Amino acid sequence: MHSLAFYTFGKTASVSVSPILHTPLEFLTGVGPQRAAALREEFGLSTVKDLLQHYPFRYVDRSDTEEIGALNASLDYIQIRGILGPLKEEGVGPARRVRSTLRDATGAVELIWFKGVKWVAQNLVPGAEYLAYGKPGEYKGHLNMPHPELERLTPGAVIQKYLQPVYSSTEKLSRKGLNSRGIEKLIETALSLSRKEIPETLSEEICGRFKFLSKTDAVYLIHRPRNFEDVQQAQRRLKFEELFYIQLELLIKKELRAKEVAGFRFESVAETFMTFYEKHLPFELTEAQKRVLKEIRRDLRSGTQMNRLLQGDVGSGKTIVAALSALIAIDNGYQVSIMAPTEILASQHFESFSVMLGQMPVSVELLTGSTKTARRRAIDKASQSGALNILIGTHALLEEKVQFKNLGLAIIDEQHRFGVAQRAKLWKKNTLPPHVLVMTATPIPRTLAMTLYGDLDVSVIDELPPGRKPVKTTHVTDSARLRIFGFMKEQIKQGRQVYVVYPLIEESATLDLKDLMDGYESIVRDFPQPEYQISIVHGRMKPADKEWEMNRFVKGQTQIMVATTVIEVGVNVPNASVMVIESAQRFGLSQLHQLRGRVGRGADQSHCILVSDVKLSREARLRLKTMCETNDGFKIAETDLQLRGPGDLMGTQQSGILDLKMANLATDTIILQYARNVVLDLLEEDPTLQLPKNAPIAAHTRELIKDKPNWSRIS
C-alpha cells in the first residue's frame, strides 16, 4: 500500500498551526515533567490538543442530592451531602479497611473503603461537611456505600447548579493529584488558553446541513456544559467528526488503491469454468450466490486488484462461490491459494474441493503444519512450476518457502481469525498482488463492517440454500438431562448424529476438562457400545488424534461427538441434526451461533438444546433468549455488539481501530451511516479536496497524515 504522504490534499499553502494546541503538556500551568510523563504513560496524552480530547465519560449534576434516609441498595450512582463521622480503621493486611458514616437531617449511611486505606485515614476530616458520590450497596442487610468519591464543602456552601464532568483517571494519576477533579482543572486551564485557536475541521456546508456546533463550541461544551442539551449537541458534532475522518481515510485509501494497484485482468470465463458450471455443478445456485459471483467476476476483469469481503451466514454456501472464482483464475492461467484458520477446516476445504472438482482437469493440494517433508517438497515444486492449480492450507501457506509461479487469487476463509498483518503478508509472495477474497461466516454488524472493512468491497450472501429448515432452539436447565438423553436416542435411531459441546475457556482449562470428561463418562454410561459409538475431541489432544476422532464422526462411524469448542468453525457434517450445548451461559452469542451453525445443514429438522444453570445473569439470559428467538446471524451480531461492545466482539487484533474517543459503534449507527454518505459525496465532487469550501477538511486531513499512527492503521 502506498503511503498517503505524497498525496497532496487541498492547497499546499501552509495553514497556521496553533502553537498552544501543540504545546507539550509539561509546559501547561499546573503540569510539570512528572505529571506530564504520567499523563503520557497512562493515557497517551502529550500535547494540549491531546488533553482537550480527553473527554468526560459522565456528568454529575452537583446540585442534585438525595436524602440519606431515603437510600436503598437498588439505587444506581447517586449523590448525598452530610457530615462525616469518625474514621475507624479495622483489620490487617488485605482485610484492612476504614469505615465512617455520612449523616444528614434524614439519616446516616455507612461509608467503607478497602483500598487506599492509608490515604483515606490521613486526608479525610471527621466533622466536616462532604459531598459523596457513589452507589449504595448492602452487606448482611446493612446499607452502605463502598468507595464513595468525596468532596469537602466549605462551611455553608451553596452548591451551584452545574454539570460536573467526570474524567477517567488511574491510580497512578490520582496519586499525582490528577483524579477526575485534577484533570478537570487542567482542562479548564487548557481551554482558557486555546479556546480561540481550535481550528474548524468540517466545512460550513456540512455544519450547516446538520446544524452542528462549531468545533470550538463543541470542545468547550463537552467539557463545560450548562445542561444536558449542551452535552448532546457537543457529542453529536464530535461523534460525527470522528466517524467522518475514519471513513474519509478508508475511502481515500480505497480510491488510491483503485487508481494505483493494478491487478491481473481475468478477461475470459473459459473451458474449465463453463464445463463445471454446465455439467458438474452439484446444485442450482441461489440468487444470492449468483449475484455475488457476478460481483466477483466484475472485479476480476476490471484490471484493478480485487479486495472483497464475502459475508454469508453459516451454511449459506460460500464454498461453491470460492470454487467458481478459483476456476476463473485457473482459466486465465493463474494459481489460487485458499487459507483456513485450522487444520480441520483446511482439510475439509481440501476434501470438498477434491470432490467438487473431481471430474475437472484441475490439481488441488493440501499444505498444513503436519504435511510430511517429502510431500511438502513435491507441493513446493508443483507450486513453483505452475503445475499446481489450487493450494489449500493453514498458516503454513504464509511461510516463506511456499512460492507460486503466478498466484492470481488468494482466498481467505474466516478472516477475523487472521490478523490484518497476516493478510498483508500474502501480498508479498508475488510481484503483482493477487486478487483477494476474504470470506467470513461471522456476520458482522454493518457499523463494524463499515469501519473495519470500509476499504474493502463487501458482498453478502443473504439467502440460505432452498429446503433448509431453521434450527429449532430450546433452553433447558440441568434437570432436563434425562429428557435430553431420551431425545438424543430417538434421533440416533432415525440415523442422525449428535454434537455435545462443552465450554473450554483458558483460565479454567483444567476444571473445564474435568467437566468435559465427567460429561463424556455419563454419556458413555447411558449410550453403551456397541449400539452407540462416541467420539471425543478437545484442545489437549494431539492434532493427529483430533483429526482421527473428527474423521470417524464425519464418516458416520460414530453417532455422538463430545467436544469442546474446537469444532466451532466451519465443520460440515450434514447428517448431524442435534447440537447440545452444555453450560451454554458461558458462551458468547456469536460462539453460540457458530456452534448452532454446525447443524441444520441437511434437509432434516435440526435441534439446538442450550443447557444452563438455573441461576443466570441478566446478560446470559438475554443471550439464550436471543438464540431461541432468531436464527438470523445479523440480528444476533447486532445484539452481541450491544451487549459486548466492538472491542470484545472482534477480539484484540482490531480493537485499536475500534478505539474511538467519542463515537460508539454499537449505538451510533445512524451517525456513521451519514458520515460515510457525506464522505462519499465529498470525494465524488472533490476527490483531492481542492475546493475552497473544503479547505478546513483538507487542512485537518494533512494534520492527520502528519500524525501518522491514526492514518496507517489499516494498510
CB of 504 to ligand ADP, least distance (A): 23
CB of 673 to Mg ion, least distance (A): 29
| Separation CA 560–CA 171 (nearest Å) | 52
CB of 415 to ligand ADP, least distance (A): 13
Nearer to Mg ion, 194 or 440 (CB): 440
316 in Cβ contact with 464 (< 8 Å) = yes
Beta bridge partners of 149: 133
Question: By CB under 6 A, which span of 49-57, 199-207, 317-325, 676-684 interacts with ligand ADP?
Answer: 317-325
Q: Fill in the amino acid letter for 534.
A: I
Query: Which one among 60, 109, 320, 627 touches ligand ADP, defined by CB under 6 A?
Result: 320
Q: Is there binding between residue 315 and Mg ion (CB under 5 A)?
A: no
61 in Cβ contact with 163 (< 8 Å) = yes
Query: Which one among 136, 315, 433, 519 touches ligand ADP, defined by CB under 6 A?
Result: 315
Residue 314, contacted partner among ligand ADP, Mg ion, none, CB below 5-8 A by kind: ligand ADP
Question: By CB under 6 A, which span of 318-326, 510-518, 526-534, 603-611 interacts with ligand ADP?
Answer: 318-326
Nearest to 561 by CA among 496, 512, 505, 613: 496
Q: Where are the alpha helices (DSSP H) in 572-668?
A: 589-596, 618-629, 633-644, 646-650
Q: Is there binding between residue 349 and ligand ADP (CB under 6 A)?
A: no
Nearer to Mg ion, 345 or 563 (CB): 345
User: CA dihedral defined by 395, 424, 307, 670, rounded to 10 degrees?
Assistant: 100
CB neighbours (10 Å) of residue 573? Answer: 20
Nearer to ligand ADP, 176 or 318 (CB): 318
Nearer to ligand ADP, 247 or 319 (CB): 319
Q: How many residues sit close enough to ligand ADP to count as binding (CB under 6 A)?
A: 17
- Categorise residue 4: left if φ over 0, alpha if ψ from -120 to 50, beta otherwise: alpha
- At 666, list the grid cell: 454499537
| Separation CA 676–CA 682 (nearest Å) | 10
Site string for ligand ADP, 256-295 (x = CB under 6 A): ---------------------------x-xx--x------
Which pairing describes strands 163-166 and 58-61: parallel, antiparallel, or unpaired? Answer: antiparallel
Residue that is written with C-alpha cell 455507612 in the block: 110
Nearest to 452 by CA among 299, 295, 639, 659: 659
Q: Is there binding between residue 574 and ligand ADP (CB under 6 A)?
A: yes
Residue 311, contacted partner among Mg ion, ligand ADP, none, CB below 5-8 A by kind: none
| Separation CA 480–CA 483 (nearest Å) | 5
Residue 215, contacted partner among ligand ADP, Mg ion, none, CB below 5-8 A by kind: none
CB of 340 to Mg ion, least distance (A): 8
Nearest to 36 by CA among 193, 197, 176, 220: 176
Site string for ligand ADP, 459-488 (x = CB under 6 A): ------x-----------------------
User: CA dihedral defined by 561, 562, 565, 568, rounded to 10 degrees?
Assistant: 10
| Separation CA 228–CA 216 (nearest Å) | 18
Q: Which of residues 431-450 bind ligand ADP (CB under 6 A)?
A: 441
User: In sequence order, which residues have a C-beta less than 8 Å from that of residue 370 and are 6 or more positions away?
Assistant: 343, 543, 544
Q: Which of residues 559-618 bind Mg ion (CB under 5 A)?
A: 570
Q: Which of residues 110-169 bind ligand ADP (CB under 6 A)?
A: none
Give the CB-nearest residue to Mg ion. Answer: 570
Residue 626, contacted partner among Mg ion, ligand ADP, none, CB below 5-8 A by kind: none
Site residues for ligand ADP per CB under 6 A: 283, 285-286, 289, 312, 314-320, 441, 465, 572, 574, 601
Site residues for Mg ion per CB under 5 A: 570
